[in-house]
Amino acid sequence: MFPGHGVANLTQQWLQRYGWEILYHPAHSPDLAPSDFHRFGPLKRHLGGMAFETEDDLISELRSWFDNLDVDFFQVGINSLLSRWQKCIDLHGDYAEK
């Protein structure tokens, strides 16, 4: 059994019991995952062209980048999920480009 498999089954049972529609999509769909689509594009651009001597140097740069993000950065990302999720619903779960 995969880790968390039992939890997934319980979640699906709960959703079915309350009549919620389950929208299937790839587990790591970049157009829907809150942690991925908004954060990694800007981070990739920030790190572009940089080279690090050690893993600690990379970790330090990552921490600095995250620590210096404006609070609005995360709010904008979460708020934009609504339209992305709606697009996925409108496309019946198909991949939604930006």
Q: For the whole model, what pTM was predicted?
A: 0.51
Tell me how many domains the chain contains: 1
- Comparing CA positions, the residue from 43, 35, 45 lying closest to residue 63 is 43
The answer to whether position 45 is within a domain reads yes
pLDDT in tens, 1-10: 445 556 678 8
pLDDT in tens, 61-80: 999 999 999 988 888 887 88
Planar angle of CA 32, 49, 45, nearest 5 degrees: 25
The answer to whether position 8 is within a domain reads no
- Residue 21: predicted pLDDT: 78
The answer to whether position 22 is within a domain reads no
The answer to whether position 34 is within a domain reads yes
The answer to whether position 97 is within a domain reads no
The answer to whether position 15 is within a domain reads no
Which domain covers residue 41, as residue numbers? 27-90
Tokens matching residue 82: 């609504």
